[in-house]
Structure 1
Amino acid sequence: MQVETHARSVLKAVSWRTLATLTTALIVFVFTGEFALALTVGVLEVFAKMALYVFHERAWQKIRWGKQDVPSFVLWFTGLPASGKKAVADGVYRKLTATGIKVERLDSHDVRHLFPKLGFTPEEVDRHVRRAGHLCSMLEKNGVSVVASFVSPYRESRDFARQLAGNFIEVYMRSTVEACEQRDTKGHYRKARAGEYRFFPGVDVPYEDPVGAEVVIDIDNVSEEQAIETIWRYLKRHYLNAI
């Protein structure tokens, strides 16, 4: 996805203003035949329209009509390992970024890097998810929406994160263990079954399915693009209708 840089936008504005001024000067010259007058009118037009533009923008900034707040939210992806959380979350994040709203992306690995000694026992995973919930809620309270993807296998931990947030959207990437194992290109499931990993959700510890998730994606039956579009429609209907 391509986005326009600030430098490109400025250059486009300058080129358009130059073209418009030259057009005005040319019209004056055609009707009067006086080059000096045409040049003077062109220069005056530049400054007059710049001043009028500033006044126009400031006047509209004071008018509340037509303005609508876009509420911040926490979009929390949960599901078994290799259920497609990261790929779909990344896709939704890119679409949100393109709208211009303030949004941050948090993945489980990002937070774990801050706490390298944190393990994977149920107690440690619970602390990990609660920390992530606190971080998400702090960003949300400061007007920044968050796209978060965490296995977050325990319902109590997810409910804790929900209670902290003002607008919490749980996205359940529903998939079977067998399908996730087929997607697992890194061999995590194989290592868990061989005993190299302990406390692996779906193998030797349970993954507690969400109850009442706002969005449920049956990822075994839809493509990533379809999943992204389903979530996007939900966001547009409930949070982004002003965009």
Structure 2
Amino acid sequence: MIIWITGLAGAGKTTIATAVYHEIKNIYPNTVFLDGDILREVLGVYGYSYDERYIQAEKIHNLCKMLDNQDINVVCATIGSFHRIQERNRASFNKYCEIYIEVTMENLIKRDKKGLYSRALIGETINVVGVDIKPEVPKNPELIVDNNTLDCLEHKVEDILNYLRDNQYIL
């Protein structure tokens, strides 16, 4: 199964996905965690333009496909929100669950520790999804997690796990 956790930079994808991964790994040892930021280095995609981001998303899809074909479960945290990739994921993977981590731009700007959004809003940087690159929010995610407040990580993870159990992704 592929659990594709997506959302904008700073939405909490990695934090939530890491916690979900550890819970699933306890049940299914053949589970790996993929993080978009780490994969950027591993897969050799260093730019942030729309086209470079799309190449990154394709590479992540291909890696997930390779792992899926070997019956390895994947929890993947990535901005990688392109409708074409989402459609390919749905068509390609044995079991696919898309989870969108939803946070308002106002809250993303408030938590912007690296200054990504604030620099983009004043034109100091370009190619920021949500500012000068339009995000392709998933059209039909299996689950939307409201992460506008950073509290209750355990509840958010439990909601995801309950969804996965209720829909027979996990036992």
How many pairs are equivalent?
Answer: 169
Residue in structure 2 matched with residue 74 of structure 1 by the alignment: 2
SS of residue paired to 1:127: helix
Worse overlay, 184-193 or 211-220: 184-193
Amino acid at match of 2:36: S
Query: What is the Cα deviation at residue 78 of structure 1?
Result: 0.8
Query: What is the Cα deviation at residue 97 of structure 1?
Result: 1.7
Query: What is the Cα deviation at residue 144 of structure 1?
Result: 0.7
149, 164, 168: which one aligns with 1:235: 164
Contact 2:45 2:55 in 1 (8 A): no
Higher fraction of helix: 1
> Whose relative contact order is higher, 1 or 2, with alpha carbons under 8 Å and at least 6 apart?
2
Amino acid at match of 1:93: Y
Query: What is the Cα deviation at residue 157 of structure 1?
Result: 2.4
Structure 2 Cα separation of the partners of residues 196 and 145 of structure 1: 40
Residue in structure 1 matched with residue 64 of structure 2 by the alignment: 136
Residue in structure 2 matched with residue 209 of structure 1 by the alignment: 137
Q: Larger Cα Rg: Structure 1 or Structure 2?
A: 1
Worse overlay, 183-192 or 125-134: 183-192
Structure 2: 5+ residue stretches without partners: none
Residue in structure 1 matched with residue 11 of structure 2 by the alignment: 83
TM-score scaled by length of structure 2 = 0.91
TM-score scaled by length of structure 1 = 0.65
Query: What is the Cα deviation at residue 117 of structure 1?
Result: 5.0
Q: Any residues of structure 2 matched to 1:118-157 within 5 Å, and which?
A: 118-157=46-85
Structure 1: 5+ residue stretches without partners: 1-72
Query: What is the Cα deviation at residue 160 of structure 1?
Result: 2.2
Contact 2:43 2:59 in 1 (8 A): no
Higher fraction of strand: 2
Change (3 A) 1:131 1:117: closer
113, 138, 146: which one aligns with 1:185: 113
Identity over aligned pairs, percent: 27
Contact 1:120 1:199 in 2 (8 A): yes
SS of residue paired to 2:80: coil
Contact 2:45 2:52 in 1 (8 A): no
SS of residue paired to 2:33: strand
Contact 1:153 1:201 in 2 (8 A): no
What do residues 162-181 of structure 1 show as CA deviations (whole Å, max 9, x unaligned)?
32212110000111111112
SS of residue paired to 2:42: coil
